[in-house]
């Protein structure tokens, strides 16, 4: 226990120091998640909020929350793992008595910590432009929202890690992420609140893990009506499915690992 705590502290502080060097890049990355705000502009421009049983203020809060959730659930483990596996950097990691994915997880968390000021600045800017005119839900609601956001991050990290295991079989596995990104983009609630979908499409979306990654936390964060227990149960169910799959693929993949590079 004491060892794990020390390990976590060291990993996080090292990765945080490392990420601080990438400040300029992370500021740019924060800008790259503007899609929910662009969609907000479109939805309010089309005057469509009335059809969605959402008031314009609720719509604005929803997309602003979706933006925040998106910022703290960005996952890039497949890209870094592909590079590490191809260049042979994975080999020394494998010699250490620590699963290499803990290192990647720590890097993600550290990157999110670096992101906080940029995200706050953008949220504040949108707020001042009028999105926040309608007030914000009480602290208990959005603290819960932030907690669920970090669960959503873990779920997305896990899902991408499962796909990442394809790196053991192919040199270009990161291309798979492009495929995974499509349902994530269109079914998660990033481009439209799920109420806007026709019933059939909505059922399809709810049968995938993607709404748990944006829609559910964003709804909590913006103080909308949610089925809290149901949402948490869905997340737990997907985790219970994906985690064993990841461990299984990891063991199978390691046997194939050829330790390329130096």
Q: Which residues bind another protein (CB under 8 A)?
A: 21-22, 24-25, 28-29, 31-35, 38, 41-42, 44-48, 51, 79, 170-172, 175-176, 178-179, 182-183, 185-186, 191-192, 196-198, 201
Alpha-carbon distance of 96 to 103, in angstroms, equals 11
CB-nearer residue toward another protein: 161 or 188:
188
Residue 170 DSSP class: -
| Integer Cα distance of 64 and 217 in angstroms | 12
Residue 179 or 248 having the CB closest to another protein: 179
Comparison of 74 and 235: residue with beta carbon closer to another protein = 74
CB of 42 to another protein, least distance (A): 6
CA distances from 34 to 126, 190, 244 (A): 11, 10, 34
CA distance 27 to 215: 24
* Structural contact between residues 72 and 154, judged by C-beta atoms closer than 8 angstroms: no
Determine the Cα–Cα distance for residues 74 and 129; give it in Å rounded to an integer.
25
Q: Phi and psi of 53, rounded to 5°?
A: 55, 30
Q: Smallest gap, in angstroms, from Cβ of residue 146 to another protein?
A: 24
Return the DSSP state at 164.
Answer: H
In angstroms, give the least distance from the CB of 210 to another protein: 12
* Smallest distance from another protein to CB 24, Å: 5
CB of 105 to another protein, least distance (A): 19
Give the pair of three-digit tokens for residue 245: 């799959």
Closest CB to another protein among residues 49, 148: 49
Shortest distance, position 141 Cβ to another protein, whole Å: 28
Radius of gyration of the chain (CA): 19
CB of 46 to another protein, least distance (A): 4
Indicate the residue among 32 and 55 with the shorter CB distance to another protein: 32
The residue (of 22 and 144) whose beta carbon lies closer to another protein is 22
Buried b / exposed e along 184-194 (16+ C-beta atoms within 10 A):
beebbbbbbbb
Which lies closer to another protein via its Cβ, residue 195 or residue 227? Answer: 195
Residue 253: closest CA among 157, 154, 170, 155 = 170
């Amino acid at each position: 226990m004491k060892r794990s705590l020390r390990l976590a502290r060291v990993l996080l502080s090292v990765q945080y120091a490392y990420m601080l060097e990438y400040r300029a890049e992370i500021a740019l990355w924060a800008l790259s998640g503007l899609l929910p705000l662009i969609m907000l502009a479109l939805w309010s421009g089309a005057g469509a909020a009335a059809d969605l049983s959402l008031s314009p203020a609720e719509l604005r809060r929803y997309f602003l929350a979706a933006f925040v959730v998106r910022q703290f659930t960005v996952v890039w483990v497949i890209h870094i793992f592909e590079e590490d596996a191809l260049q042979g950097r994975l080999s020394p990691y494998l010699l250490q008595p620590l699963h290499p994915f803990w290192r990647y997880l720590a890097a993600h968390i550290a990157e999110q910590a670096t992101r906080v000021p940029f995200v706050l600045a953008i949220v504040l800017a949108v707020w001042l432009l009028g999105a926040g005119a309608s007030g914000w839900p009480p602290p208990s609601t959005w603290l819960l929202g932030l907690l669920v956001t970090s669960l959503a991050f873990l779920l997305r990290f896990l899902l991408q890690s499962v796909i990442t295991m394809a790196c053991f079989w192919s040199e270009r596995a990161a291309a798979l992420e492009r495929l995974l990104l499509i349902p994530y983009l269109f079914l998660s609630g990033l481009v439209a609140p799920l109420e806007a979908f026709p019933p059939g499409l909505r059922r399809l979306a709810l049968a995938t893990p993607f709404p748990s990654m944006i829609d559910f936390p964003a709804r909590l964060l913006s103080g909308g009506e949610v089925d809290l227990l149901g949402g948490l149960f869905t997340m737990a169910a997907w985790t219970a499915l994906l985690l064993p799959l990841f461990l299984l693929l990891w063991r199978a993949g390691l046997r194939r690992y050829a330790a390329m590079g130096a």
